[in-house]
């Protein structure tokens, strides 16, 4: 009741269509992803400036203003007030705040090191007693956390929809919010990659991090300057490929997993995006000017013949490209890491890189698969 009065009263006030259209437009997948990356890289390049409290405060206020003004829009409001989406708003604020806090301290430390001053964490040999110095901090954190949870629980009811019904599928059917990044990847990859391989590689890759990051500096204190590659890679993975994709999947994916701008009505009748061509079409038809092969060729099964161009491309990407990298951009690192570590690092790195590559191929060429051995569900 209150909700509806609120929205209806404010719709009129918040109606500035040109701005909304513009925002809807830049929220399209390619712009959203490219702009998030640009924002991250600009931030990392100027981290000493952008983490100054004045900038941070400005960013906080600007984002909050954007959020509140957007909430005047009934479509946007209906998404953010869904009970299970509330944590995502919290996550955005908390992630922003703590990323700032971390990089702020990195900036201070990096400047101090250049000037030969002690680190923020210096004096690490001074010991204090756990009682009272630590247990009191812990107790205060614990009390605050309890209060926060209590208020949250009183204000917001846990959602309960109609009883489970196997014959009525909601549209869209969304995974729990913390997996929405992976569900978003389903747009670009088959389930065996988006749902099995990539999660597996994330887990293995994270566990492998301490063994492939041989940089001895930056152990136990905030710094960015001394670990630029490691931190940049991690932030792209964490902020863009996990957090941003979750936000995208929550706010901007509607029925049939179609894209909807933040101020658009989730129209279930909007037609699904049409796919798509495979690399084999591009290679055989467009470049070779002939039909796609369907016959075995000197003992090689037809599907391997048909997919040979894509297979060659992937082999080149995973086997030749690392060698090229080893002698160019990764030269210093390759020497430092040695063969095995370099191999693992580059394998994980290239898988991570394949995500934006596949996205770009989709946006520019409308490409579906690089290799499509549909006979065995083996599509990349």
Partner 1 sequence: MSVFGRFGNWVREGQVWGSVFRHGVPRDRRTRAMAVLSNVFLHLHPVAVRKSGIRLSFTWCMGGLTFFLYLVEVVTGVLLMFYYRPTVEYAYFDIEGLRAYVTLGLLRELHRWGAHAMVIAIWLHMLRVFLTGSYKPPREFNWGVGVILMVLTLLLSFTGYLLPWDQLAMWAITVGSNMARATPLLGYEGPLASLVNIGGVPLVHAGDDARFGLLAGTFVGPNALLRFYVLHCVFIPVVATILIAVHFWRIRKDGGISGPL
Sites for partner 1 among residues 191-210 (CB under 8 A): 191-192, 194-197, 203, 206-207, 209-210
Q: Give the residue, chosen from 11, 39, 65, 150, that forms a contact with partner 1 under the rule CB under 8 A.
A: 150
Number of residues located near partner 1, criterion CB under 8 A: 96
Report the residue number, 175 or 308, with the smaller CB distance to partner 1.
175
Residue 255: name the closest of 79, 114, 118, 103 by CA. 79
As measured in angstroms, the least distance from the Cβ of 144 to partner 1 is: 9
143 in Cβ contact with 149 (< 8 Å): no
As measured in angstroms, the least distance from the Cβ of 356 to partner 1 is: 21
Report the residue number, 132 or 338, with the smaller CB distance to partner 1.
132
Report the residue number, 77 or 372, with the smaller CB distance to partner 1.
372
Of residues 357-376, those binding partner 1 (CB under 8 A): 373, 376
Residue 219: name the closest of 115, 119, 347, 335 by CA. 119
Q: Give the residue, chosen from 31, 63, 66, 152, that forms a contact with partner 1 under the rule CB under 8 A.
A: 152
CA atoms of 122 and 375, how far apart (whole Å) = 61
Residue 105 in contact with partner 1, rule: CB under 8 A: yes
CA atoms of 116 and 114, how far apart (whole Å) = 5
Encoding tokens for residue 258? Answer: 């179609």
Binding flags for partner 1, 211-250, as an x/- string (CB under 8 A)? x-x--xxxxxxxx---x---x--x---x---x--------
Q: Degrees (nearest 5) of the Cα angle 257, 270, 258? A: 20
367 in Cβ contact with 279 (< 8 Å): yes
Of residues 341-360, those binding partner 1 (CB under 8 A): none
Report the residue number, 150 or 275, with the smaller CB distance to partner 1.
150
Helix residue spans in 46-114 (DSSP H): 47-50, 53-70, 74-80, 86-114
3-class SS of residue 155: helix
Residue 134 in contact with partner 1, rule: CB under 8 A: yes
169 in Cβ contact with 256 (< 8 Å): no
Report the residue number, 66 or 98, with the smaller CB distance to partner 1.
98
Residue 229: name the closest of 331, 120, 144, 127 by CA. 331
Binding flags for partner 1, 304-343, as an x/- string (CB under 8 A)? ----------------------------------------
As measured in angstroms, the least distance from the Cβ of 8 to partner 1 is: 27
As measured in angstroms, the least distance from the Cβ of 92 to partner 1 is: 10
Residue 132 in contact with partner 1, rule: CB under 8 A: yes
DSSP string, 254-308: -GGG-B--TTS---TTSPPPPP-B-HHIIIIIIIS-SPPP-S-BTTB-HHHHHHH
Report the residue number, 34 or 108, with the smaller CB distance to partner 1.
108
Q: Give the residue, chosen from 38, 156, 323, 324, that forms a contact with partner 1 under the rule CB under 8 A.
A: 156
3-class SS of residue 378: strand
């Amino acid at each position: 009741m209150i909700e509806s009065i609120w929205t209806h009263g404010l719709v009129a006030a918040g109606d500035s269509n040109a701005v909304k259209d513009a925002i809807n437009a830049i929220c399209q997948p390619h712009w959203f992803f490219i702009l998030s990356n640009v924002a991250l890289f600009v931030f990392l390049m100027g981290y000493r400036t952008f983490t100054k409290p004045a900038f941070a405060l400005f960013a906080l206020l600007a984002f909050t203003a954007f959020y509140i003004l957007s909430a005047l829009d009934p479509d946007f409001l209906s998404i953010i007030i869904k009970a299970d989406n509330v944590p995502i708003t919290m996550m955005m604020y908390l992630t922003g705040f703590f990323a700032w806090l971390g990089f702020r301290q990195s900036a201070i430390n990096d400047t101090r090191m250049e000037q030969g001053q002690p680190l923020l964490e210096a004096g690490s040999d001074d010991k204090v007693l756990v009682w009272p110095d630590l247990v009191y901090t812990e107790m205060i954190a614990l009390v605050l956390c309890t209060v926060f949870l209590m208020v949250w629980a009183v204000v917001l009811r846990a959602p309960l929809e109609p009883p489970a019904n196997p014959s009525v599928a909601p549209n869209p059917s969304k995974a729990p919010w913390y997996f929405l990044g992976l569900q978003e990847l389903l747009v670009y990859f088959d389930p065996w990659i988006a749902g099995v391989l990539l999660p597996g590689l994330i887990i293995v890759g994270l566990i492998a991090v301490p063994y492939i990051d041989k940089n001895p500096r930056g152990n136990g204190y905030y710094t960015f300057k001394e670990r630029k590659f490691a931190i940049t890679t991690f932030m792209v993975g964490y902020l863009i490929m996990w957090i941003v994709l979750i936000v995208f999947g929550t706010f901007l994916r509607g029925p049939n997993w179609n894209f909807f701008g933040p101020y658009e009505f989730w129209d279930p009748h909007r037609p699904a995006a049409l796919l798509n061509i495979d690399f084999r079409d591009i290679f055989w038809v467009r470049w070779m000017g002939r039909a796609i092969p369907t016959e075995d060729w000197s003992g090689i099964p037809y599907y391997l013949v048909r997919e040979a161009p894509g297979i060659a491309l992937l082999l080149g990407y995973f086997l030749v490209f690392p060698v090229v990298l080893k002698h160019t951009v990764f030269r210093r690192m390759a020497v430092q890491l040695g063969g095995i570590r370099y191999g693992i690092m580059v394998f994980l790195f290239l898988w991570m890189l394949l995500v934006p590559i596949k996205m770009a191929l989709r946006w520019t060429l409308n490409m579906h698969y690089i290799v499509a051995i549909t006979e065995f569900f083996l599509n990349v």
